[in-house]
Amino acid sequence: MQTPFVWSGPPAEAGAVEPSRLGEQEAETFDSIVHAIEKKRNFPLSPEQRDICRFVHEHRENVLIDSVAGSGKTSTLLMCLWFIAPSAKVLLLSFNKTVQTTLDREVRRASMQMATGLGREMPACSTFTCHSHGLTALRRAFGTQNTVADNKYQAITTAISQDTSRGVEANLKKWKWHMQAMLKLLMNLAVDCTPSTAWSEDFVVAAGERYGIPMPQVNGSSYGRAAKREEETFDDYMRVLYQAYRICCERRSNFDFTDMVYLPVRLGLPLIQYDVVLIDESQDLNAVQIELIARSVEPEGGRVIFVGDKNQAIYGFRGADTHAIETVTRHFQARQFPLHTCWRCPKKVIAAAQDIVPHIRARPGAVAGITEKYAYENAIFKKMRQRSRQHSHLVLCRTNAPLIQLAVELVVEQVECYVSADALRDAMLKLLEQITNAHWIKVRALKERMDRYRTWKKAHLEELGEQLIEKNDQLDSLQTLIKSMRNPTVLGVREKIEALFSPSSAVTAGHPGDVVRLSTIHQCKGQEEDVIYVIKPSLLPHPASKSGWELEQEDHLKYVAITRAKRELHWFCDE
């Protein structure tokens, strides 16, 4: 197995610039590059940004940029490209496809600015997500005919649950949902990719307990190593889970989203290696993504530059390393640099954020801004009617169902709005189809069918622990919408879903405040609007969050919600 890249120390002459990496920049002083950046971008670099860029220019160590919300972390990461030798091969990894598209555009823009500002080309920079980077390796190894199948793990666990030859058919159907969640979690944790993550009973049980997927129940009793009377059944579960895992690894005709990162690492596939790897949103990396990054760096003289905010780590429920910033700092021996000035939020909003993150500070000359709390939820309707059409408006909530309810009510109040959540829209449409095709539900009325399906589904999902929040939220969102309709039909509900999730032409034409956007806090990370409204603050922390790391990430969600505001922040209490 390829040894992960780790920086082994500075050059022999401390502080010296390595000629093999920066020889082409010898004629360019640090100040001349900074001057070109400031001239093209029409704003000065902050002292923190200058320190980061100077280190990138003069040294070759790995870097961790410790940022806060609104600190310009992505812009700072892109600035680093100006200080990298033109001959270097650079990889820029982003959190998701939307961000990748934006970064790709910004890289092209920076390339043009560099050509006119410095008279030279920018280093060749490839922009990928971790998943598209891994998928490239898979298709190089197994051919481009392989398809992407989101239901691969579901198909495998369903087939296993219907196989009576395995001798445990009484429990297999109960285990199907649990195995799907556990398999994806284990792969995100890089199971069998390093000596410390080798497949074992202890590793599986510890992973489930850590990330809120406890071992399933048998005859009404939870079981695991401590429940000796269930040892035989527990062994059956572990055996079947391992069989499912092996099938997932061996089936290469199609790839699940999880496979795209896991299989290149697990199978030791050759990855394109780069002189410099830049990683945005590093706080949400999981173990297998970190391993993928380590194997994507040139082992001799390569370097990694991370940027992230540990207080915006909110994806632990999906298997992200809840202390990813500390992990990459240690694993890559990265030099840390602060980026603690927020350029987005006014002073009063910063003061609210400092209750959670004391080191965040407002930019010099920041305006006071507005923060207000309202005793009643219904106050939001008056605020919406009185809103400024010159400013953009975003409603935030911990979960989706309250947003669906509010969106329906805003439409009645003739407030144009939409819910910004493509994944939820797709999930609700899929659930609607499943309810329609559930022939075991004998009633015909859609509201009653929804109630019975919801009860059945929740009973099957109750063993998914913390992941249950997301699944239940999808069910609750659809039920909320159906109950808001007088005589709902399948066609009518489908049309209502499409309408609520589709931004009107007013989003791209007219004033920013003509249309109100609604989003969960998870969905809006990395975004900003002039005026932020937070509803159902009693869901922060969410009642289902119990463990220490879960409660910590609930604080992070509150911090993310606060720091989306560029001008005003409004809280609408529900207690």
Q: Read off the tokens for 486.
A: 């007088």
Tally of CB atoms within 10 A around 389 = 12
Same CATH fold, 344-420+503-575 and 19-139+270-342?
Answer: yes
Q: What's the pLDDT at 189?
A: 96
pTM score: 0.89
Q: Read off the tokens for 246.
A: 């092996």
- Residue 36 — pLDDT band, cuts 50, 70, 90? very high
What CATH number has the domain spanning 19-139+270-342? 3.40.50.300
d(CA 139, CA 528): 37
In 152-284, which ranges are E strands? Answer: 217-218, 221-222, 254-255, 276-279
For the chain, what are the domain ranges?
A: 19-139+270-342, 148-251, 344-420+503-575, 421-500
In 57-154, which ranges are E strands? Answer: 63-67, 89-94, 124-129, 147-148
Rounded average pLDDT over 74-85: 95
352 backbone dihedrals φ, ψ, rounded to 5°: -65, -40
**519 closest CA partner among 382, 422, 389:** 422
**Sequential DSSP letters for 359-408:** T-EEPTT----EEEEESSTTHHHHHHHT--TTS-EEEEESSSHHHHHHHH
- Which has more confidence, 139 or 574? 139
- Residue 501 — pLDDT band, cuts 50, 70, 90? very high
Q: What's the pLDDT at 546?
A: 87
On the question of pLDDT at 8 being above 60, the answer is no
Q: Which fold has domain 344-420+503-575?
A: Rossmann fold (3.40.50)
Q: What's the pLDDT at 20?
A: 36
| 342 SS3 class | strand
On the question of pLDDT at 26 being above 50, the answer is no
Q: What's the pLDDT at 4?
A: 38
Rounded average pLDDT over 390-413: 96
Average pLDDT, the chain: 88
Chain-centre distance for alpha carbon 284: 6
The answer to whether the CB of 345 falls within 8 A of the CB of 353 is yes
Q: What's the pLDDT at 569?
A: 98
In the chain, the amino acid numbered 228 is K
Name which of 211-220, 378-387, 397-406, 510-519 the model is least confident about: 211-220
- Residue 376 — pLDDT band, cuts 50, 70, 90? confident
Q: What's the pLDDT at 176?
A: 82
Q: Look up tokens 């329906």; give the residue.
A: 408
On the question of pLDDT at 24 being above 60, the answer is no
**252 closest CA partner among 264, 241, 243:** 264
d(CA 314, CA 539): 15
On the question of pLDDT at 18 being above 90, the answer is no
Q: pLDDT tens digits for 184-212?
A: 999 999 999 999 999 999 999 999 888 87
**Sequential DSSP letters for 423-446:** HHHHHHHHHHHHHHH-TT----SH
Residues 6+ apart with CB under 8 A from 186: 199, 203, 204, 207, 245
Q: pLDDT tens digits for 287-301?
A: 999 999 999 999 999
d(CA 92, CA 83): 15
Q: What's the pLDDT at 27?
A: 46
516-520 β-sheet, strand order? 370-374, 565-572, 529-535, 393-397, 516-520, 417-419
d(CA 535, CA 384): 13
Q: pLDDT tens digits for 484-495?
A: 999 999 999 999
The answer to whether the CB of 20 falls within 8 A of the CB of 52 is no
Q: Which residues pair with 254 in a beta bridge?
A: 147
Q: pLDDT tens digits for 279-333?
A: 999 999 999 999 999 999 999 999 999 999 999 999 998 899 999 999 999 999 9
- Residue 432 — pLDDT band, cuts 50, 70, 90? very high
% of the chain residues with pLDDT over 70: 88
The answer to whether the CB of 443 falls within 8 A of the CB of 521 is no
